Structure 1
Amino acid sequence: METGLAIVIGLFFAVSVYLMLSKQLVRMLLGIAILGNSVNMSIFLNGRLTREVPPVIPQGLLVPTEVTANPLPQALVLTAIVISFSFFAFLLVLAFRAYQEVGTDDVNEMRVAEPENDPLPPQGY
């Protein structure tokens, strides 16, 4: 099972890199979202996919008596989900605002495009 999931994670990384190398902003944003998910899956896979008991230490003991699940990868994945969602939301708003200003989502056209609504004319010095 871990081998199959590692292959899926590799495919997710490849798809995300392919999408991030695109010229359209929407594809870039989808690539960033898929990259975040593939990183989360790889962190989760590092915590192993075995069914173990929760990491609860019985009362009166200092260490668990049996094999327990590792809670650290789960905590890291939860934190990474929140961070990647907020990063994606910020980039989505930034891309939408850039599209409103320039009128295109092609990054090559954005380099040469002038804003549609220029509130201030250029000032000469």
Structure 2
Amino acid sequence: MIDTSPSLALVLAIVVLITVGVYLLLERSLTRVLLGFIAMSNGINLLFLVAGGAAGGAPITGQTAPEDMSDPLPQFMILTAIVLTMGISAFLLAMAYRSWQLNRHDEVQDDLEDRRVARRAAADLAAFEDSDTEVTTTLDEDAASAHDEMGGDRS
């Protein structure tokens, strides 16, 4: 009987990579988001590798007996995931670099519309009501508090 249980070291590596990846994805810095995305995708690739079962022979007809072949589907999925991860990582890196060129930081700023929605949700107001007359701050005040290049408040 072939032992198909995964190695404890691989399972621990998967858990650590995905945990670190999710934690870094929740940060505001695009560089940390990029590192989190890469760590999480590597953890998921390892998960595909472990889920693929025990290693076998090359899946080439005539070279390996059919019962001894590896399943090529997990290998294909991992290869595709690597290519997609590289493309998304290049895009995130370009966004972080452009943000650094423009602002001298790569932090994602608050969106004014998100603040308005959160304020309305906290006040338990209906979404269809006109908020222009009920808001105590102006759009310019919200923009000044969200704009952190000059040291504004991000609350």
TM-score by length of 2: 0.61
Aligned to 1:120: none
Does structure 2 conserve the Cα–Cα contact (< 8 Å) formed by 1:52 and 1:69? yes
CA distance in 2, matches of 1:89, 1:28: 12
Amino acid at match of 1:55: P
Amino acid at match of 2:16: L
Does residue 53 of the first structure (1) align with residue 53 of the second (2)? no
CA distance in 2, matches of 1:65, 1:97: 52
Does residue 24 of the first structure (1) align with residue 24 of the second (2)? no
Count of residue correspondences: 109
Does residue 6 of the first structure (1) align with residue 7 of the second (2)? no
3-state SS of 1:97 partner = helix
3-state SS of 1:57 partner = coil
Does structure 2 conserve the Cα–Cα contact (< 8 Å) formed by 1:102 and 1:113? no
Gaps (5+ residues) in structure 1? Answer: 115-125
Does residue 35 of the first structure (1) align with residue 40 of the second (2)? yes
Tell me which structure has the larger Cα radius of gyration.
Answer: 2
Q: Which has the higher contact order (CA 8 A, sep 6+)?
A: 1
Does residue 112 of the first structure (1) align with residue 147 of the second (2)? yes
CA distance in 2, matches of 1:98, 1:43: 34
**C-alpha RMSD of the superposition:** 2.3
CA distance in 2, matches of 1:85, 1:104: 23
What CA deviation, in whole Å up to 9, does each residue of 1:44-103 have, x standing for no partner? 11112x3322222239xxxx5532111111111111101100110011001111221222
CA distance in 2, matches of 1:26, 1:65: 46
TM-score by length of 1: 0.74
Moved more, 102-111 or 72-81: 102-111
Does structure 1 conserve the Cα–Cα contact (< 8 Å) formed by 2:21 and 2:35? yes
CA distance in 1, matches of 2:43, 2:88: 15
3-state SS of 2:106 partner = coil
Does residue 79 of the first structure (1) align with residue 80 of the second (2)? yes
Does structure 2 conserve the Cα–Cα contact (< 8 Å) formed by 1:53 and 1:69? yes
CA distance in 1, matches of 2:23, 2:66: 47
